[in-house]
Structure formats: structure tokens, C-alpha cells
């Protein structure tokens, strides 16, 4: 009997599913044929892998209906019946109404024998089921979607309610796994926003925000639409989620080395070509441009308009960086005015961070913020508190270059002057040296000359002295031989009559006349004797 | 004539005469003649030397004058 009940349950589910898929009754087997349903009931699979072994369940069917079937199989028929609060129960046998739920009415007859329900009846039953199931409300986590556009219209509505969606995304693929319509009454929104503000200034309901919300599940019979009503949220969850996501992205950036890739780029010395990413016409835009204009330098701004908030921010800023890198810019500035923390969420997105990191030009951020730095700030070359400060930095860079140049020029002038003076001084010294060296040289030369002259003079003197002395000597010698001088001493010369000097006694004979020459005259004489020695 | 004979040649001649006189080689007859010749030579040599000395002194004076000038 159990199998049969299960089978019926499966058939019922299949028929419902066919309706959901707009498949006509005669083609219900498109979902699953009865034979397969029978096989499932017999096999009683409790897991997907067990189900996959059942004959007639292919891969496609497993994927399409597997979870729903296992869900059915895991709930006993009794359980299902118990949860069914209506008299339109699906089963006619073995049904015992719960004792403690008065609303449950025992089904007396088989389904087919009951009169059909109107849609209103059905819907009111559904509404009742839902109300009962979520009587106390339920905490749900999800991401806010389509809120930003609707919240603008809230003030025109009687209860200032906002309609939006809560979605669940696959954390890896970002694929939307589930969506549900949601709303908040104006009163609740006021309280929720105050609560968020108390946790973190600037935290407010926004698209893309991960929230943990207390919800009631409402069903609106006229549209047959299910919608959850958010009455409270836990801001700490959102803050934690944001921090966690931020942390994960930062870790990833660190691991891939992207975190400081842009920081390694040098800002050109004269960044006159500025790529500007901002919302054109915003206060931030005007502040930034004014600051550049005020400087008087000839900045060239390559402007790229991008939304500075909301979910489009990530794509638009990324595209803007990509575009500006194709132009001859020196630096790229991303600026926006001050805003709330959740307004800045886009700057915590991975796409923005990666685009900044991979920019071939240095990226400066001037994203007005009070407390936390965004990931864009972390990854940028340098970050500033305001657009004005960002522009000032760029201006200051140019001014510094100008000042450096002036200083350099001044230095060159000073150094050049010094060099000239040094050269002059050296020349002066050298002139002095040349002069004194010349004087010295000349003096030395003169000394040499005068010494030489002295020597010559001395030599000449000596030469003449020697000459005269020699002549004196020779004269003395000559004088000594002069017979006249001999006669002066008292000697006399004896001459024969024929005038010959008598040098020997033999030359004269006794009786012969001789002449005797004395110093002062001659004597005549006659030899009277001769005696030989 | 005498002036044209060089100083050294005259000196040589003088020296030869005197050497001869010394060695008493000179005939007594020629003595006076030799002595006379020697005396002439001496006189001539001395005057030549003196003259040269004066000339040299003049030259040197010119040189020194130049130097001091």
C-alpha cells in the first residue's frame, strides 16, 4: 500500500508539474510517464544517486526534477497529508486528521469526487497555508535587487512602501539561483534605516546589498503572487557580509599580486594629461576641474563619464579605465563626492579593482569617504579623501617640477658663477706664478750670466796677470844676460884690436894692444904678461 | 812688421833667445844683438798684451754696461 500511496503522490506531483509547465493533460507523460513513476515508487530512492539508477530517469530528467522527487520521497505520505490543511487532500485512504489542528478537515471521499475549487478558494487556501507556515515570520538572507529605481517612487505611495526583489546568487558564477518579490512598508523602512545607520553611518538599503531580513510570506489571491514583506533586518549581517566579501577580494588581489601592481607605476614628473573618470556635472567633477584650472597650468583633461554609484558602477568604471588607457594620459583620476558607505559598494567590486591594478597608467582615487577605504583605494596608486585633494596632488606634482627646475636653474647660475670666479682666481694666481717664475728665471739667468761674466773677468785678469808676469820673468832673464848689466857690476870686456872679445889668454899675445870696455867707457892697453890657469 | 807677427810666435822666439842665452850658446859677439832682440820682443809683447787688455776691458765694460742697463 505504501508503494501505491507513493505512486499516487508522484502522479499527483507530475500532473501539477505539467500544469506549471503549461503541458496539456494528454501530454503529461512529457514530464514523466506513469511507468517511470511506478519504477520510482517501487525503488523508493532517498538520494539523487539512487534516483539516477531508476529505469526511465535520464540525466536530463534527474537534473530537472531530481530534487523535487527526492523531496517527495523523503516526506512520508502522512507527513504530506498532515501539512495539507484543506479538505482537498490528495489521499483517500489511511488518512487521520491531526488532533491538534482544528482547521484540518478529514477528507471523506476521493479527490475526484469533491466539487472543484474556484481559483479564489484555492488561492485563499494557499494564503492560509502560507500564513500558518510563516506565522512567526522567517529570517531570510539574500541580495537586494531592483530597489534603487523603486525607492524613488516610494514617496508617491500612500504607505511609502517599496517593492523590490531578494535574490540568491551562486557565490562563484554569480548565476541567479532563486528570486522572490519583496516589499517594505514605509514605517518599517524608517525603523530599519535608522537601525542600519546606528550600526554604520552610511549603511542603507541599496541594490547589491546582502541582507538578513525578517520576512512574512504574503500571498495575494488576486494576482496569485507570493511576496515577502520585510519587517526587520540585522545590519550586522550586512556589515559582516560586506567585510567578508571585501576580505576575500583583497586576499585574492594579494595572492595574484594585483594589490600593488598599480602602485609600482611611477607618476610622471609632469602629469599634465589627466584622464578623469567621474559623473560629469557632479560636484566632484566641478571641484576637480576647478582645482586644475586654478593652478594656471595647461592641463589637458580626457573625460570619461561613468556612474559613480549603483550596480552599473563596476562595469562603467572598468570600461572607462580601459578606454582612457588608449589615450595619451599621464595619470587617471577616479573621483566622486562624499557618499554613504553602501553608495561606495561598487568601489569594493573585484572588476573595478582588477581594472585599476591592470591599468598601464597610474590610477588616483578621490572617492569621498569618511571611515573605510574601498578596495579601489587599496589597489590604486594613491588615494585621496576628496576630488579636490586628488587634483591638488596632481597640481602639486607639476608645481614641484617647476620649482625643482627653477632651483636647478638657480643652482646652475650659482655654480656657473662660482666656476667663473674660480677660473678667474686660478688665472690670477697663475699670472702671478708665471710672473714670479719668469722673474726667478730671469734672475737666475742673470745670475748665471753675471757669474759667467765674473768668471770671464777673473780669467781675463788672470790671463793678463800671467802674461805680464811671464814677460816680467822673461825680461828679468834677458836683463841678466845683457852685457851692459854685467859691465855695471864692474866687469870689463876685453877686445882685440880688430874688435873681437877675448875669451881666452891664448887669443892674445904679450905686447899686443887690447881695448877694455867698462861700464862708462873704454880703456886702451897693452898685454904685458900672460899666465894660463 | 813686428806687429803682424802673432803674439805666440813672438813669445816662442823670445823664449828661444832666452833659452839660448841661458845655455850660453850665444856667441858673446851676438849677445848684445840677442839681448837687444829679446828686449824688443819683450817690449813689443808687453805692449801688445797691454793693448789687448785694454781692448778686453773695454769689451767687458760694454757688456757690464749692457747688463746694468
How far apart are the CA of A463 and the nearest CA of chain B, in angstroms?
A: 9
Q: Residue A88 — pLDDT band, cuts 50, 70, 90?
A: very low
pLDDT of the residue at A519: 82
Cell numbers representing residue A524 in the block: 886702451
Q: How far is B63 from chain A (nearest CA, A)?
A: 9
A105 pLDDT exceeds 90? Answer: no
Instruction: Assess A481–B contact: CB distance below 8 Å, yes or no.
Output: yes
pLDDT beyond 80 at A108:
no
First to last CA, chain B: 41
pLDDT at A246 over 80: yes
- A483 min Cα distance to partner chain B (Å): 7
Does the structure show a pLDDT above 60 at B68? no
The 8-class DSSP code of residue A265 comes to S
Nearest to A2 by CA among A94, A65, A69: A94
Residue A79 phi, psi (nearest 5):
-60, -45
Distance CA A393, CA A363 (A): 12
Rg (CA), chain B: 17
What is residue A55's predicted lDDT score, i.e. its pLDDT?
A: 84
**Residues of A numbered 68-87 whose beta carbons fall under 8 angstroms of chain B's beta carbons: which are they?**
none
Tell me how close the Cα of B4 comes to any Cα of chain A, in angstroms.
Answer: 19
Quote the percentage of chain A above a pLDDT of 90: 33
**Nearest Cα to Cα of residue A334 among A297, A381, A298:** A381
Q: Give the one of A453, A471, A484 whose C-beta lies nearest to B42's C-beta.
A: A471
**pLDDT band with cut points at 50, 70 and 90 for residue A87:** very low
Query: Which chain A residues in 188-207 lie under 8 Å from chain B, judged by CB atoms?
Result: none
pLDDT at A16: 84
Show the beta-strand stretches assigned E in A53-200. Answer: 138-145, 162-169, 176-184
Q: What is the pLDDT of residue A101?
A: 46
- Taking residues B23-44, what's their average pLDDT? 78
A442 interfaces chain B, CB cutoff of 8 Å: no
- Chain B residues in contact with A457 by the CB 8 A cut-off are 60
Give the residue-averaged pLDDT of A141-146: 92
pLDDT of residue A303: 93
Query: Residue A246 and residue A251: Cα distance in Å, rounded?
Result: 9
| pLDDT of res. A98 | 45
**Residue A102, pLDDT score:** 45
pLDDT at B1 over 70: no
d(CA A211, CA A209): 6
Smallest CA–CA distance from B8 into chain A, residue: A467
Arithmetic mean of pLDDT, A15-22: 82
Q: What is the mean pLDDT of residues A292-299?
A: 92
pLDDT confidence of B30, banded at 50, 70, 90?
A: confident
Q: Which residues of B touch A467 (CB under 8 A)?
A: 49
Banded model confidence at residue A271, pLDDT cuts 50, 70, 90 = very high
The mean per-residue pLDDT over the stretch A289-297 comes to: 92
Comparing CB atoms, the residue among B21, B49, B67 nearest residue A464 is B49
Residue, of A102 and B55, whose pLDDT is higher: B55
pLDDT of residue A339: 61
What does the pLDDT read at residue A81? 43
Q: What per-residue confidence (pLDDT) applies to A110?
A: 58
Half-sphere exposure of A46 (CA within 13 A, CB side): 3
Residue A283, classed as helix, strand or coil, is helix
pLDDT at A449 over 70: yes
The pLDDT score that the predictor gives to residue A78 is: 44
**Residues B67, B69: Cα–Cα separation, whole Å:** 5
> Lowest mean pLDDT: which of A160-164, A248-252, A361-365, B45-49?
B45-49
- pLDDT band at B66, cuts 50/70/90? low
Q: Give the best residue of B7, B15, B53 to mutate against chain A (max A CB count within 10 A).
A: B53
Shortest Cα distance, chain A CAs vs residue B1, angstroms: 21
CA separation, residue A37 to residues A3, A33, A34, A45, A77 (Å):
11, 6, 5, 12, 15
* pLDDT for residue A367: 87
Q: What share of chain A is helix, strand, coil (3-state, %, to 5)?
A: 50, 15, 30
In angstroms, the CA A429 to CA A442 distance is 19
Average pLDDT, chain A: 84
- Across the interface, whether the CB atoms of B56 and A503 are under 8 A apart is answered no
Mutate: best of A442, A479, A481, partner B, most B CBs <10 A: A481
Set of chain B residues whose Cβ sits within 8 Å of the Cβ of A482: 32, 35, 39
What is the Cα A240 distance to its own chain's centre?
29
Res. A1 pLDDT band, cuts 50 70 90: low
SS3 for A394-416, per residue? HHHHHHHHHHHHHHHHHHHHHHH
Q: Are A302 and A359 in contact (CB under 8 A)?
A: no
CB contact under 8 A, B35 and A464: no
Q: Which residues contact B59 (CB under 8 A, 6 or more apart)?
A: none
pLDDT tens-digit series, residues A22-64: 787 788 888 888 888 888 888 888 888 888 888 888 888 888 8
User: Residue A358 pLDDT more than 80?
Assistant: yes
Nearest to A333 by CA among A320, A349, A351: A320
Q: Mean per-residue pLDDT for A451-476?
A: 85
pLDDT score at A86: 46
SS (H, E, C) A217-261: EEEECCCCEEEEEEEEECHHHHHHHHHHHHHHHHHHHHHHCCCCC
**What is the DSSP secondary-structure string of B13-65?**
HHHHHHHHHHTT-S-HHHHHHHHHHHHHHHHHHHHHHHHHHHHHHHHHHHHHH
Residue A224 cell numbers, joined? 496569485
B-interface mutation test, from A454, A456, A477, most B Cβ less than 10 A away: A477
pLDDT band at A99 (very low <50, low <70, confident <90, very high): very low
Identity of the residue in A456, A477, A501 whose CB atom sits nearest the CB atom of B29? A501
- Cβ(A215)–Cβ(A196) under 8 Å? no
d(CA A309, CA A345): 8
Condensed to tens digits (0 to 9), the pLDDT of residues A185-240 reads 999 999 999 998 888 777 888 888 889 999 999 898 888 899 999 999 999 998 88
Q: Do B60 and A457 touch (CB under 8 A)?
A: yes
Count of CB contacts below 8 A, A vs B?
63
**Smallest CA–CA distance from B23 into chain A, residue:** A481
Best probe of the B interface among A447, A451, A478, by most B CBs < 10 A, is: A478
pLDDT at B35 over 80: yes
pLDDT of A311 over the 70 cut? yes
- Which of B28, B35, B42 has the CB atom closest to A503's CB atom? B28
In this structure, the dihedral spanned by the alpha carbons of residues A34, A39, A43 and A46, taken in order and rounded to 10 degrees, is -50
CB neighbours of residue A230 within 10 Å: 24
Instruction: Please report the pLDDT score of residue A361 as a whole number.
Output: 94
Looking at residue A370, what is its pLDDT? 60
What span, in angstroms and rounded, lies between the C-alpha atoms of A291 and A7?
A: 77
Q: What are the backbone angles phi and psi of residue A526, rounded to the nearest 5°?
A: -135, 140
Q: Give the closest-approach CA distance of A422 to chain B in angstroms.
A: 40
Cβ of B5 under 8 Å from any chain A Cβ?
no
B66 lies within 8 A of chain A by CB = no
Specify the pLDDT at position A262: 93
Round to whole Å and give the CA distance between A223 and A118. 14
Question: Of B6, B49, B59, which to mutate for an interface test with A (greatest number of A Cβ within 10 Å)?
Answer: B49
Q: What's the pLDDT tens digit per position in A318-334?
A: 999 999 999 999 999 99
For residues A222 and A160, the answer to whether their CB atoms sit within 8 Å is: no
8 Å CB contact of A474 and B46: no
Distance, in Å, from the CA atom of A143 to the CA atom of A211, rounded to the nearest integer, reads 6
Q: Report the Cα–Cα distance between both ends of chain A, in Å, rounded.
A: 211
pLDDT at A112 over 70: no
Edge-to-edge, what's the strand order for the sheet holding A493-496? A493-496, A513-517, A522-526
Spatial neighbors of A265 by CB under 8 A, at least 6 apart, are A360, A361, A362, A381
pLDDT at residue B19, as a whole number: 83
Residue A341 confidence (pLDDT): 55
Instruction: Give the residue with greater pLDDT, A338 vs A229.
Output: A229
| Length of chain B, in residues | 69
How sure is the predictor about A300, in pLDDT bands with cuts at 50, 70 and 90?
very high
Res A471: pLDDT: 86
pLDDT digits 0-9 by tens, A375-416: 999 999 999 988 999 999 999 999 999 998 898 898 888 888
> What is the per-residue pLDDT for A371?
63
DSSP character string of A342-380: GGGGGGGSHHHHHHHHH-SS-EEEEE--SSPPPHHHHHS
Residue B31 touches chain A, beta carbons under 8 Å = yes
pLDDT digits (tens, 9 = 90+) for B7-28: 888 888 888 888 887 776 666 6
Q: Measured between CB atoms, which of B15, B45, B64 is closest to A453? A: B64
pLDDT at A497: 84
The reported pLDDT for the residue numbered A531 is 84
Amino acid at each position: 500500500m505504501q508503494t501505491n500511496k507513493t505512486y499516487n503522490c508522484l502522479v499527483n506531483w507530475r500532473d501539477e508539474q505539467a500544469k506549471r509547465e503549461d503541458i496539456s493533460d494528454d501530454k503529461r507523460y512529457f514530464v514523466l510517464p506513469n511507468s517511470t513513476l511506478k519504477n520510482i515508487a517501487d525503488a523508493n530512492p532517498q538520494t539523487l544517486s539512487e534516483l539516477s539508477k531508476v529505469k526511465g530517469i535520464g540525466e536530463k530528467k534527474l537534473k530537472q526534477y531530481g530534487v523535487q522527487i527526492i523531496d517527495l520521497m523523503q516526506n512520508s505520505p502522512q507527513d504530506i497529508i498532515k501539512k495539507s490543511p484543506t479538505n482537498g487532500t490528495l489521499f483517500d485512504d489511511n488518512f487521520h486528521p491531526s488532533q491538534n489542528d482544528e482547521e484540518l478537515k478529514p477528507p471523506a471521499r476521493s479527490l475526484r469526487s469533491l466539487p472543484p475549487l474556484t481559483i479564489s478558494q484555492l488561492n485563499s487556501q494557499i494564503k492560509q497555508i502560507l500564513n500558518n507556515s510563516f506565522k512567526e515570520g522567517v529570517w531570510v538572507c539574500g541580495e537586494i535587487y531592483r530597489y534603487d529605481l523603486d525607492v524613488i517612487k516610494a514617496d508617491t505611495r500612500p504607505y511609502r512602501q517599496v517593492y523590490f526583489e531578494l535574490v540568491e546568487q551562486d557565490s562563484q558564477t554569480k548565476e541567479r539561483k532563486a528570486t522572490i518579490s519583496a516589499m517594505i512598508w514605509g514605517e518599517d523602512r524608517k525603523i530599519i534605516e535608522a537601525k542600519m545607520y546606528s550600526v554604520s553611518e552610511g549603511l542603507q538599503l541599496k541594490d547589491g546589498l546582502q541582507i538578513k531580513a525578517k520576512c512574512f510570506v504574503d500571498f495575494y489571491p488576486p494576482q496569485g503572487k507570493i511576496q515577502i514583506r520585510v519587517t526587520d533586518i540585522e545590519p550586522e549581517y550586512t556589515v559582516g557580509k560586506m567585510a567578508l566579501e571585501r576580505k576575500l577580494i583583497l586576499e585574492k588581489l594579494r595572492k595574484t599580486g594585483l594589490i600593488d601592481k598599480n602602485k609600482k607605476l611611477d607618476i610622471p614628473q609632469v602629469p599634465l594629461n589627466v584622464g578623469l573618470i567621474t559623473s560629469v556635472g557632479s560636484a566632484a567633477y566641478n571641484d576637480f576641474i576647478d582645482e586644475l584650472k586654478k593652478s594656471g597650468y595647461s592641463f589637458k583633461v580626457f573625460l570619461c563619464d561613468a556612474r559613480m554609484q549603483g550596480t552599473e558602477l563596476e562595469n562603467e568604471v572598468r570600461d572607462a579605465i580601459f578606454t582612457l588607457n588608449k589615450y595619451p594620459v599621464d595619470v587617471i583620476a577616479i573621483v566622486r563626492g562624499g557618499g554613504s558607505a553602501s553608495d561606495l559598494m561598487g568601489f569594493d567590486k573585484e572588476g573595478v579593482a582588477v581594472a585599476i591594478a591592470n591599468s598601464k597608467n597610474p590610477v588616483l582615487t578621490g572617492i569621498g569617504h569618511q571611515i573605510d577605504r574601498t578596495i579601489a583605494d587599496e589597489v590604486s596608486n594613491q588615494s585621496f579623501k576628496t576630488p579636490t585633494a586628488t587634483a591638488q596632488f596632481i597640481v602639486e606634482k607639476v608645481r614641484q617640477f617647476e620649482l625643482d627646475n627653477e632651483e636647478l636653474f638657480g643652482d646652475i647660475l650659482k655654480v656657473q658663477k662660482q666656476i667663473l670666479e674660480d677660473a678667474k682666481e686660478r688665472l690670477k694666481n697663475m699670472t702671478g706664478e708665471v710672473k714670479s717664475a719668469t722673474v726667478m728665471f730671469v734672475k737666475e739667468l742673470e745670475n748665471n750670466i753675471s757669474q759667467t761674466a765674473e768668471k770671464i773677468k777673473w780669467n781675463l785678469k788672470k790671463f793678463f796677470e800671467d802674461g805680464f808676469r811671464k814677460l816680467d820673468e822673461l825680461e828679468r832673464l834677458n836683463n841678466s844676460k845683457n852685457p851692459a848689466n854685467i859691465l855695471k857690476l864692474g866687469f870689463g870686456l876685453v877686445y882685440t884690436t880688430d874688435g873681437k872679445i877675448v875669451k881666452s889668454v891664448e887669443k892674445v899675445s904679450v905686447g899686443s894692444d887690447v881695448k877694455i870696455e867698462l861700464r862708462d867707457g873704454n880703456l886702451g892697453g897693452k898685454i904685458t904678461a900672460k899666465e894660463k890657469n | 812688421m813686428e806687429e803682424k807677427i802673432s803674439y805666440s810666435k813672438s813669445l816662442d822666439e823670445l823664449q828661444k833667445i832666452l833659452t839660448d842665452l841661458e845655455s850660453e850658446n850665444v856667441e858673446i859677439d851676438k849677445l848684445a844683438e840677442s839681448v837687444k832682440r829679446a828686449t824688443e820682443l819683450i817690449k813689443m809683447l808687453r805692449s801688445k798684451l797691454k793693448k789687448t787688455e785694454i781692448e778686453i776691458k773695454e769689451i767687458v765694460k760694454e757688456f757690464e754696461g749692457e747688463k746694468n742697463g
